[in-house]
Structure 1
Amino acid sequence: MRMAELSTDTGVPVPTIKYYLREGLLPPGRPVGRNQADYGPEHVRRLKLVRALAEYGGLSIAAIGELVRHLDDPEISDNNLLGLGQLMVTARQEPLPGPHVERARRALDELCARRGWKDMSEHPAYATLVGVMASLEDLGHEAMLASLPEYAEAAELIAEADMRVVGELGDRERTLEVVVLGTLMGDTLLTALRRLAQANVALRRYGPK
């Protein structure tokens, strides 16, 4: 197919396709004449992936370019590719300075050790969690901190379910899309499920108003 057909099939405007080609996000088509190229199903899939990462994943062109380069590199293992995709959508928020930060860091390290989790101190989510734990202690919400082991157990069950979904795909492009978009949309999904569960548990414990 020519570029106009590629645009029609994917809904991506021709100028955007040309931009993605210049940035290396989309592989060049097969030359068929002067200033003409032919595009196939692999271009449709890649274009849809790039668009999804940009529009729904909120990733920058630079970040997508890095993911695409790793995606096309056979030396990059599937596990490293998935790890990179997750890191791309995980915000890092450093904890605010305060007396509770070191205690929170030690408590989190102990929790990870009890669960048999590897050292995650360099993961962006680690810094965010330390900050949240320190703030909870500073505000006097020790009861929530006491429930952290239960939260961690639930989180691990969710992570196992996530990995089952990823493991059944068997396609690097599709897997990367699921990891990036699934992480973002999955966070929203889990928040909504938690609210429903809270409402139902409250009804069981305290009855209707």
Structure 2
Amino acid sequence: MRLSVLSERSGISTATIKYYLREGLLPPGRPVNATTAEYDEGHLRRLRLVRALIQVGGVPVATAREVLGYVDDDSLDHRARLGGAMWALPQDTGPAGPDEEDPAAASARAEVDRLLELLGWECARGSAAVSPAHRSLVAAVAALRRLEYPWDAERMAPYAELMREVARRDLDFMETYGSVAERTEVAVAAAVLFPPALLALHRLAQQEETSRRYGTG
């Protein structure tokens, strides 16, 4: 397809597509002549991913380029490509992040580590020292403990098990795609787009359960 058709099918302007091409976010099309190139379904799929990263997820262009570098790196195995792409995405470490000097943060870190041991999550325990997700959880638990909510490993464990089931379903969905590159693209898009959907579902579920327990009105 020509650039104009790619623009029409993707809903992204030709000027923006040309910008993505210059920034290395979209691979070049097949040259037809000195001024024209042909694009295929892979370009359309990549454009949708770039839009999810930049326009929906607010990921900076440089970060998006790094993430896509892992997606396209055929020298890496499946786990390395997926892990690298996930690691390169911006991570939310909470409003202020865990304060290393704060006793609540130290207590929260110990409780999170106890949770991971209780669950037997060896990979998560092994990467805890450098994991943005670990820091984010510590910051959240520390905030709860400052408010004197008893959020300990035993209380977190059922939630963690539910999230492990969500992770299983994420990977089941990803594995419906054929190539490693496609699977990694899907995982990256899901990492950006699924959290808002899961948060909305959580709130709807809370609304429904509140109504069931306490009535409406």
CA distance in structure 2 between the partners assigned to 1:35 and 1:21 by the alignment: 14
For these two proteins, the number of residue pairs brought into alignment is 208
CA distance in structure 2 between the partners assigned to 1:208 and 1:26 by the alignment: 51
Structure 2 residues without counterparts, runs of 5 or longer: none
Q: Does the CA-based 8 Å contact 1:104-1:134 persist in structure 2?
A: yes
Q: Does the CA-based 8 Å contact 1:89-1:183 persist in structure 2?
A: no
- The alpha-carbon distance between structure 1 residues 166 and 15, as it changes in their structure 2 partners (threshold 3 A), is same
Q: Does the CA-based 8 Å contact 2:72-2:181 persist in structure 1?
A: no
Q: Which residue of 1 aligns with 2:20?
A: 20
Q: Deviation at 1:99?
A: 1.4
Give secondary structure in 2 for the equivalent of 1:33.
coil
Q: Deviation at 1:163?
A: 1.8
Q: Deviations over 1:162-193 (max 9, x none)?
A: 22212222334543343233233322222222
Give secondary structure in 1 for the equivalent of 2:37.
strand
**What does 1:1-80 correspond to in 2, within 5 Å?**
1-80=1-80
Q: Deviation at 1:55?
A: 1.6
Q: Does the CA-based 8 Å contact 1:89-1:184 persist in structure 2?
A: no
Q: Does the CA-based 8 Å contact 2:52-2:192 persist in structure 1?
A: no
User: Which deviates the most, 30-39 or 66-75?
Assistant: 30-39
Q: Which residue of 2 aligns with 1:193?
A: 201
CA distance in structure 1 between the partners assigned to 2:183 and 2:90 by the alignment: 15
- The alpha-carbon distance between structure 1 residues 77 and 17, as it changes in their structure 2 partners (threshold 3 A), is same
Q: Deviations over 1:114-166 (max 9, x none)?
A: 11112231211111111121222221111x43521222222222222222212
Q: Deviation at 1:204?
A: 4.3
Q: Does the CA-based 8 Å contact 1:101-1:134 persist in structure 2?
A: yes
Give 1:114's aligned amino acid. Answer: L
CA distance in structure 2 between the partners assigned to 1:44 and 1:204 by the alignment: 45
Say yes or no: does 1:112 pair with 2:125: no
Q: Highest CA radius of gyration, 1 or 2?
A: 1
Q: Does the CA-based 8 Å contact 2:21-2:27 persist in structure 1?
A: yes
Q: Does the CA-based 8 Å contact 1:26-1:47 persist in structure 2?
A: yes
Q: Does the CA-based 8 Å contact 1:53-1:59 persist in structure 2?
A: yes
- The alpha-carbon distance between structure 1 residues 61 and 152, as it changes in their structure 2 partners (threshold 3 A), is same
TM-score for the superposition, normalised by structure 1: 0.85
CA distance in structure 1 between the partners assigned to 2:47 and 2:194 by the alignment: 23
Q: 1:129 aligns with which of 125, 129, 137?
A: 137
Q: Does the CA-based 8 Å contact 2:29-2:38 persist in structure 1?
A: yes
CA-atom RMSD in angstroms: 2.3
